[in-house]
Amino acid sequence: MAIHNGCISSADDLITTREQTRAGFIEAALEKNRKALPYIEDAKTLKACASKAKSPWDLLTMTNIRQGVLTASGLSDKSLKYFSDTDKMDAIKKMIEEFLVPAGNGFVDELVYRYLLIRGDSLGGSMRNLTGTIAEMKLKRKLLSVLSLQQKKYCILQKQNKAANRWTSVSYEDAFSMVDEICAISWSVGEKNRVLFFNAIIPLVQKNVDICLYQGTPSSYDAGKIVICDEKAVMFGELKGGIDPAGADEHWKTANTSLTRIRTAFRDYKLKTSFVGAAIEKNMAGEIFEQLENGILSNAANLTYNEHLTNYCEWLVRL
């Protein structure tokens, strides 16, 4: 069985190198630093304002920093809707009694440390979501570049326009810059019309699928309702952007289970499947390559290799 990604001739070609792993960790660290900037600025403002208090108890009347003090008391933004004003004040009082008063003259620093602790937990959650977002952005940018270089006409659907199914034709540069807002891309090759979209629940599978390629036009996409047209499905893929080698095998097991479920659900259709991952270790590389050789997987790519991703996107355009 032919392997459609020309960069892959053995299992070793799929393995993420130590250099690529380091580069991935650095990329994640830089993104985390960027994401942390507003929290750090808020903490600086909180410290400047709280420093006007002569004692921890003065914080109770400083309504201009009430939100920051509530955060420092351990209450997340989501939890606040379940608390009355009295409950919120009680939470602040408990924090003052247990942590700020014992800190003495350092109560402002203690307040800021606690604020950053809670915000850091929130940042960690957003970074876990961001890992998948970054991977998706990489794939979309590569696909757009392939379409642009091949001079294929395409149009995009922004998330904010999905409900109205309002597609637009924009330049490659504009599409590239707004890629995080794109939820679907459509193009035509000869008589074939294709729509690619991400993170959609496929009714026949009853699960979310990362990469979805359908036969159709922007009109037939119909704000996502195309997922009920099983006969239009061309390819489904799993995308795993986590770079940590420690979680690589687990990500592959999860993806493989999903792909098996997809193939079973669509056994009456000529459907292709693929896997794209950032962290691919030796054992899972062997399993992936074996599936490619046996035609179980139609294609695979290591997200950290430019050549892999380019070949993968060229394959998508040809399908």
pLDDT band at 118 (very low <50, low <70, confident <90, very high): confident
Mean pLDDT of 73-87: 84
Which 3 state secondary structure label does DSSP give 92? helix
Token representation of residue 144: 């757009």
Length of the chain counted residue by residue: 319
pLDDT band at 80 (very low <50, low <70, confident <90, very high): confident
**CA 243 – CA 176 distance, rounded (Å):** 23
Same fold, 11-16+152-318 and 32-124: no
Cα 215 to chain centroid distance, Å, stands at: 25
For residue 26, the tally of other CB atoms under 10 A from its CB is 11
Token representation of residue 117: 């602790």
For position 120, what pLDDT does the model report? 77
Task: For 121-133, give the DSSP string.
Answer: HHHHHHHHHHHHH
For position 1, what pLDDT does the model report? 46
Which 3 state secondary structure label does DSSP give 210? strand
Which one-letter DSSP state was computed for residue 187?
E
**CA 89 – CA 139 distance, rounded (Å):** 47
- Record the pTM: 0.78
Token representation of residue 173: 């540069």
For position 23, what pLDDT does the model report? 87
**CA 290 – CA 11 distance, rounded (Å):** 8
**In the chain, what are the helix, strand and coil shares in percent, each to the nearest 5?**
60, 15, 25
Average pLDDT taken over every residue of the chain: 90
Q: What is the pLDDT of residues 120-151, one digit of tens each?
A: 776 666 556 666 678 898 999 999 999 999 99
pLDDT band at 235 (very low <50, low <70, confident <90, very high): very high
Which 3 state secondary structure label does DSSP give 231? helix
Which residue type occupies 303?
L
For residue 53, the tally of other CB atoms under 10 A from its CB is 18
**CA 153 – CA 187 distance, rounded (Å):** 6
Of the options 3.40.50.300, 1.10.260.40, 3.90.76.10, 1.10.238.90, the CATH number for the domain spanning 32-124: 1.10.238.90
Asked if the model's pLDDT at residue 317 lies above 90, the reply is: yes
Report domain extents, the chain. 11-16+152-318, 32-124
Burial of 173 from C-beta contacts in 10 A (0-12 / 13-18 / 19+)? exposed
Sign of CA dihedral 120, 123, 128, 131: negative
**CA 49 – CA 109 distance, rounded (Å):** 12
Report the CATH architecture of 11-16+152-318: 3-Layer(aba) Sandwich (3.40)
Query: Dihedrals φ, ψ of 6, to 5°?
Result: -65, -10
**CA 240 – CA 136 distance, rounded (Å):** 9
**CA 308 – CA 302 distance, rounded (Å):** 6
Q: What is the pLDDT of residues 44-63, one digit of tens each?
A: 999 999 999 999 999 999 99
**CA 110 – CA 104 distance, rounded (Å):** 9
